Amino acid sequence: MICWPAPAKLNLFLYITGQRPADGYHNLQTLFQFLDYGDSLTFQLRQDDRIKLVNSISNVPDESNLIMIAAKLLRTVALQSGIPRDQMLGVDIGIDKTLPMGGGLGGASSDAATVLVALNQLWQLKLSTEQLIEISRQIGADVPIFIYGHSAFAQGIGDQLESIELPENYFLVVQPGIEISTAKIFNHPALIRDTPVRDLTTLLNSAFSNDCEPLVRYLYPEVDSVIKRMSAFAPTRLTGTGACVFAEFQDETSALAAKTALNLPNAFVAKGINRSPVYTNLIR
């Protein structure tokens, strides 16, 4: 049985630059960085072709879980590409779920990406990173960044990725005790959708913000309250559509001191990292 990480991500900034008329998806400019904190998945190969989730997640039917969706999609692609049908493409998958649902940390997307990367190796499919990214686009808009595996500036619907080296600072992250539906925020008429497109240099030299934050703070007073409290210690922003918010510190000591002083539940300190820990498993 092999254990693989599924790290969290932060959107250090997030701007919505328009909405595509053809499919309703929103065009974004965002900056992704991983955290050294997240879920853990285990994989045990089977002697048959059954894909089984060992421990289900509360309130998420197995058939709707992105872990199962990713594993079954990868097997379908493998069979369509000529993998012999008698090759045993079965697996038992377990999950130690740490990341909150509806938190904006990419938990479900990260889990799905880890499934694709891990099973590509364990099933010896030999698909390239580019092929896995293409498969991941069928699962969700945030999945490609976790396959990509490096901090990145993202455009399009978040899947046009450009690597970037970012300071690996420390973050205090707080889950305000609520779950926020991404669809609800992106479908809301009051969401900012007309931020001008800017080049990366301009964005990096401007104050970072999140176009979802004003709406989320208005709809969810719990988020507004946490941001106000955390802002006394460091600039604080929403990640994704929330509900998690984060403050950035140059050292772990300062982040931990703020965590202690605020005494907020559902808070943790983690380090920003530029390379996903998923890929350390491929070096074995």
Q: Catalogue the active-site residues.
A: 9, 142
* CA-based R_g, the chain, Å: 19
The structure tokens 């039917």 sit at 61
Annotate 155-178 with DSSP letters as a single string: ETTTTEEEE------EEEEE--S-
Nearest to 9 by CA among 30, 34, 36: 34
| Residues 244, 241: Cα–Cα separation, whole Å | 8
